[in-house]
A and B are shown apart, each in its own frame.
Chain A
Amino acid sequence: MRHLHGLTISEAARLLAAGEISSQQLTRAVLERIDAIDGRIGAYITVAADTALAQAEAADAALAAGRGTALTGIPLAVKDLICTRGLPTTCASKILQDFVPPYDAAVVEKLRQAGAVLVGKANMDEFAMGSSTENSAFQITRNPWNRNHVPGGSSGGSAAAVSADLCLGALGSDTGGSIRQPAAHCSVVGLKPTYGRVSRFGLVAFASSLDQIGPLAKDSRDCALLLNAISGYDKRDSTSVPRDVPDFVAGLKNDLKGLTVGIPAEYFDTRGIDAEVLAAVRRAIGTMETLGARCLEVSLPHAPYAVAAYYVIAPS
């Protein structure tokens, strides 16, 4: 069997359900890998080894009693601007270096209820103000693929942790790309849920009308699993949308037939794009078409104002 820390959430869940591995083994494998290499990556601000192992023990009991869910016993990292009761939540700022929240964010409540194991709190740009994780007041995070490169940001710690198998999945937050961009930088999957899909209760706000907590994982299926777990209406968040949550895992297909994808012409102004990036994007569009998607050139005439709108709304 290959290293436990290299498993995806889906693979680990299968092995846990079959009793072939235990959550304690899995969690220990992840913690040992953190000890071995996180010094060179800097993904974690806080590692909660003792509580993680206790959660793993509880998860093993739940699994043995047939009460396991898709995330029971799975070691996850949580971006450090999401409140975790009893665990420091610093937002990568010295202002909050001693802040230990007396309550869990809604998404953390859901993860605990699902029996997930919270390995630790991931590094980020201070108060999410940045896109490289270089603005953390504590440490920089290095891209596991090339340590002279940034992991992106602001959820750089989350992305690096998933990428380097320092957790099986992670939560980040995204306002103007802060999950998607670091996920791309670290070659993992990340997504920003539609605003209102995931409760912001317990999320330290960057831009209240734009923020969403979302998943980062090693593949799309794992992202769908995490999204299932964290989504849902929460009356404590007045921007939370009271709509049913579809089963995102059931929605996964092996092709893109029936999907029409708009390719905004304004995004392809070659003055602003690196040639290799442009080639990679064109290849990805080709792959989508091979998978059955219809790709259509469209125009978004307000594209030139997007950054300006963001820089006015986000600080407001």
Chain B
Amino acid sequence: MEITSEEILHVADLARLELDAAAARSLVPQITEILEYVDLMQQVDTSDVPPTTHAISLKNAFRDDVCRTHLENAAALENAPEKDAGCFVVPRIIG
């Protein structure tokens, strides 16, 4: 699997990472190497291997559906660079 620097720039844009063309080009061999690992995995026959989500097969690990306070609002917002009306203020990412 090969990747192009255009694809890298596109993914960087989606991740809101600033990357110039030169940086994108330099990442091509590095990311290609990681994608080669994916190719290697495709060689393995897993047709009778069930998907594994946990080493010890936990299922439906939910807690009781009961409201409780874990962290007070003020504590949760302690590290916020900007807050308003009990919420985090973040840069717009949609639209």
Contacts and interface: CB of A to CB of B under 8 A. Distances in A.
B75 interface: yes
A143 B44 CA distance: 39
A238 B71 contact: no
Contact of A312 (B41, B53, B75): B41
B37 A307 contact: yes
Nearest to B36: A308
B66 to A, nearest CB: 11
Interface stretch (A29-37, A62-70, A97-105): A97-105
A140 B59 CA distance: 41
Given A308-B41, A312-B38, A239 B54 contact: yes
B40 interface: yes
A236 B62 CA distance: 9
A102 B41 contact: no
B54 to A, nearest CB: 6
A99 B62 contact: no
B67 interface: no
A312 B78 CA distance: 35
A98 B81 CA distance: 10
A312 B37 contact: yes
Nearest to B81: A98
A147 interface: no
A103 B37 CA distance: 38
Contacts of A312: 37-38, 41
Contacts of A100: 78-79
B63 interface: yes
A307 B40 CA distance: 10
Interface of B: 34, 37-38, 40-41, 43-44, 53-56, 58, 61-63, 70-71, 75-76, 78-79
Interface of A: 98-100, 102-103, 194-196, 209, 235-236, 238-241, 302, 305, 307-309, 311-312, 315
Given A98-B79, A307-B37, A308-B37, 11 more contacts: A99-B79, A102-B71, A102-B75, A103-B71, A103-B75, A195-B54, A195-B55, A196-B55, A240-B61, A308-B41, A311-B37
